[in-house]
C-alpha cells in the first residue's frame, strides 16, 4: 500500500468562509506540521517522547500565546488561532495539548490576571519558548469538581506557603513555572492563582507512566510541601473559581478546533485507503455501500463541526461568545472526532491498529481529549443548565 499523504478536507467550500489571512495562517501551520511533526510523530508516540525540538520552531511561527497582543505575541484572531490548533492536532493531540497549555492555560492567566511585573517577566520568554509552563487545577480526588480542591495557600509575612497535590498535569516535569490554583486560608477559602517557579524547595513533579493516550505529551503529578513564594507571585486579578474556568474556556475553544484536525486526518486516511484496498471481485472497498455509509457519516459530521466552530470563533472575535457556546463546540467536536477515529480504524481493518497509519494514535489520544477540559458529560450539563436554567451537576 503506498504512503498516504493528507490532502485537506473541504466538502462544501468551507475555505470560502475564511479570509486571506486565515487561510495563510492555516496553510503555514499545515506545512509546518507536514514537514516537521508528521515524519517523527509515530516514533515519539512509540517512545512516549515529547518532541521538544519543535518548541523553538513553533515559537518562531508565533504559536505560543498566538491570540494575545504585545509581549512579542502574534495577535492572531480567535479564528486564526483555532485554525492553528486544528493543524497541530491533525499532527497529534499531544503536541496540540502542549501548545494549548502554554498559551491558554499559562500565558492567558498571566496576561489576564497578572501584574505588569509578572507579564514582563514571563510572557516574552514564554512566547519565545524559552520558558515553559503548566497549569495545576486537577487533584487526585477532584477532577470534574475542582471547587473541592484541597491545595491551600497561607499568607505568612510577605510570603505565601503552599501545600497540596495536583494530578494529570500536562508539561509538569518540563515546566519552568506552574500556575497553581489554591484555596487561600485567610480569604474565606477563595480560590486564587499563584505562579510557582518549579525549582523552589518543596516543589516536586513526577511523570505519569503507562499512559496509552497522549503519549507524545508529558503528563505529571505535582507535589507542593511548604513551598514558599513571595506575595508578588499571587496573580492579583485572580478572583475565585471563575478565574481558572475562564482559562479553561480559552483552551476548550482551541480543542474544539483541534478535534476537527484529528477527525480530518482519520477520515482522509480512511478515504484514500478505501480507494486502494481491494476485497471481493477485485473491487476497492470504497465501492461497498457499508463503507460509503461510514465515509458519508464522517464527512457530514466534519462539515457540521467546521461550521459550528467557525461561528463560535466569529462570536469570540466580536466579543459575543458565551461559555455554553464553547462547551457545545468542545463536546460535539471531540465526540465527532472520536467517532470518526473509530469508523476510520474499522475501514482500515487490521492495518487500522498498526502505527503505519495515524488512526489508532488519534483514537487513543481523543479518549483523553474527551475527558480533559471538562468531560463530555460535564459539557452536557453546562448546555443543559444554559437551556433550562437548572444546574444538574
Ligand X SMILES: Cc1cc2nc3c(=O)[nH]c(=O)nc-3n(C[C@H](O)[C@H](O)[C@H](O)COP(=O)(O)OP(=O)(O)OC[C@H]3O[C@@H](n4cnc5c(N)ncnc54)[C@H](O)[C@@H]3O)c2cc1C
87 with 261: CB under 8 angstroms?
yes
Please list every residue from 39 through 68 that binds ligand X, using CB under 6 A: none
Question: Which residue has its beta carbon closest to ligand X?
Answer: 143
Count the neighbouring beta carbons within 10 Å of the beta carbon of residue 302.
24
Task: Give the one residue of 284, 371, 383, 385 binding ligand X; rule: CB under 6 A.
Answer: 371
Task: Give the one residue of 63, 71, 168, 273 binding ligand X; rule: CB under 6 A.
Answer: 168
Please list every residue from 128 through 147 that binds ligand X, using CB under 6 A: 135-138, 143-144
Mark the segment that binds ligand X (CB under 6 A) among 149-157, 166-174, 227-235, 276-284: 166-174
When the beta carbons of 140 and 349 are compared against ligand X, the nearer one is: 140
When the beta carbons of 105 and 229 are compared against ligand X, the nearer one is: 105
Does residue 274 bind ligand X (CB under 6 A)?
Answer: no
Site string for ligand X, 169-188 (x = CB under 6 A): xx------------------
Task: Give the one residue of 29, 214, 266, 286 binding ligand X; rule: CB under 6 A.
Answer: 214
Does residue 287 bind ligand X (CB under 6 A)?
Answer: no
Q: Which of 44, 84, 40 is nearest to 64 (CA)?
A: 84
Q: Which of 106, 102, 179, 105 is nearest to 136 (CA)?
A: 179
When the beta carbons of 86 and 171 are compared against ligand X, the nearer one is: 171
Mark the segment that binds ligand X (CB under 6 A) among 18-26, 28-36, 47-55, 369-377: 369-377
Instruction: Report H helices in 147-285.
Output: 242-276
20 CB-near residues (< 8 Å, 6+ apart): none
When the beta carbons of 182 and 269 are compared against ligand X, the nearer one is: 182
Does residue 118 bind ligand X (CB under 6 A)?
Answer: no
Helix (H) / strand (E) element for 294: namely helix 289-317
Phi/psi at 50 (5° precision):
-80, 125
Task: Give the one residue of 25, 55, 101, 328 binding ligand X; rule: CB under 6 A.
Answer: 101
Q: How far apart are CA 308 and CA 298, in angstroms?
A: 15
Please list every residue from 309 through 348 that binds ligand X, using CB under 6 A: none
Please list every residue from 7 through 36 that binds ligand X, using CB under 6 A: none
Given the residues 22, 87, 139, 373, select the one marked as catalytic.
373
When the beta carbons of 315 and 381 are compared against ligand X, the nearer one is: 381
- Cα end-to-end distance, the chain, whole Å: 49
198 with 227: CB under 8 angstroms?
no
Does residue 77 bind ligand X (CB under 6 A)?
Answer: no
When the beta carbons of 168 and 267 are compared against ligand X, the nearer one is: 168
Does residue 219 bind ligand X (CB under 6 A)?
Answer: yes
Task: Give the one residue of 378, 384, 385, 386 binding ligand X; rule: CB under 6 A.
Answer: 378
134 with 170: CB under 8 angstroms?
yes
Does residue 249 bind ligand X (CB under 6 A)?
Answer: no
- The counts of H helices and E strands in the chain are 12, 7
When the beta carbons of 169 and 348 are compared against ligand X, the nearer one is: 169
Does residue 207 bind ligand X (CB under 6 A)?
Answer: no
**Does the annotation mark 373 as catalytic?**
yes
Q: How far apart are CA 390 and CA 222, in angstroms?
A: 35
Does residue 303 bind ligand X (CB under 6 A)?
Answer: no
| Size of the residue set binding ligand X (CB under 6 A) | 21
Q: How far apart are CA 133 and CA 311, in angstroms?
A: 30
Task: Report in angstroms how near the CB of residue 139 gets to ligand X at its nearest.
Answer: 8
Name the region of 160 (left: φ>0; alpha: ψ -120 to 50; beta: rest): beta
Sign of torsion over alpha carbons 306, 308, 309, 313: positive
- The three-state secondary structure class of 165 is strand
- CA 159 vs CA 162, 179, 227: distances in Å: 10, 16, 10
Annotated catalytic sites, by residue? 373
**Residues in contact with ligand X by the rule CB under 6 A:** 101, 135-138, 143-144, 168-170, 214, 219, 368, 371-373, 375, 377-378, 381, 393
Amino acid at each position: 500500500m503506498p504512503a498516504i499523504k493528507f490532502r485537506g478536507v473541504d466538502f462544501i467550500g468551507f475555505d470560502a468562509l475564511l479570509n486571506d489571512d486565515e487561510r495563510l495562517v492555516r496553510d503555514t501551520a499545515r506545512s509546518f506540521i507536514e514537514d516537521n511533526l508528521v515524519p517523527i510523530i509515530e516514533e515519539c508516540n512509540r517512545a512516549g517522547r515529547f518532541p521538544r525540538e519543535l518548541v523553538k520552531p513553533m515559537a518562531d511561527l508565533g504559536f505560543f500565546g498566538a491570540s494575545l497582543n504585545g509581549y512579542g505575541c502574534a495577535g492572531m484572531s480567535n479564528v486564526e488561532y483555532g485554525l492553528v490548533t486544528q493543524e497541530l492536532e491533525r499532527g497529534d493531540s499531544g503536541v496540540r495539548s502542549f501548545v494549548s497549555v502554554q498559551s491558554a492555560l499559562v500565558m492567558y492567566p498571566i496576561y489576564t490576571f497578572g501584574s505588569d511585573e509578572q507579564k514582563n517577566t514571563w510572557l516574552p520568554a514564554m512566547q519565545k519558548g524559552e520558558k515553559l509552563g503548566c497549569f495545576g487545577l486537577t487533584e487526585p480526588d477532584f477532577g470534574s469538581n475542582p471547587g473541592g480542591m484541597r491545595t491551600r495557600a497561607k499568607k505568612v509575612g510577605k510570603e505565601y506557603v503552599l501545600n497540596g497535590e495536583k494530578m494529570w498535569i500536562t508539561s509538569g516535569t518540563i515546566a519552568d513555572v506552574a500556575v497553581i490554583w489554591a484555596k487561600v486560608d485567610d480569604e474565606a477559602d477563595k480560590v486564587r492563582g499563584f505562579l510557582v517557579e518549579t525549582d523552589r524547595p518543596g516543589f516536586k513533579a513526577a511523570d505519569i507512566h503507562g499512559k496509552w493516550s497522549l503519549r507524545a505529551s508529558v503528563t505529571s503529578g505535582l507535589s507542593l510541601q511548604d513551598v514558599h513564594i513571595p506575595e508578588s507571585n499571587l496573580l492579583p486579578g485572580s478572583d475565585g473559581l471563575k478565574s481558572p474556568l475562564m482559562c479553561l474556556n480559552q483552551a476548550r475553544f482551541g480543542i474544539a478546533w483541534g478535534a476537527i484536525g484529528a477527525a480530518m486526518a482519520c477520515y482522509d486516511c480512511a478515504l484514500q485507503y478505501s480507494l486502494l484496498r481491494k476485497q471481493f471481485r477485485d473491487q476497492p472497498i470504497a465501492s461497498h455501500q457499508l463503507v460509503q455509509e461510514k465515509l458519508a457519516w464522517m464527512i457530514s459530521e466534519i462539515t457540521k463541526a467546521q461550521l459550528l466552530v467557525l461561528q463560535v470563533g466569529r462570536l469570540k472575535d466580536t466579543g459575543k461568545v458565551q461559555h455554553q457556546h464553547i462547551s457545545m463546540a468542545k463536546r460535539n467536536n471531540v465526540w465527532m472526532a472520536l467517532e470518526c477515529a473509530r469508523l476510520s480504524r474499522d475501514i482500515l481493518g487490521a492495518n487500522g491498529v498498526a502505527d503505519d497509519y495515524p488512526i489508532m494514535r488519534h483514537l487513543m489520544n481523543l479518549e483523553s481529549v474527551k475527558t480533559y477540559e471538562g468531560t463530555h458529560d460535564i459539557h452536557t450539563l453546562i448546555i443543559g443548565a444554559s437551556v433550562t436554567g437548572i444546574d444538574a451537576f
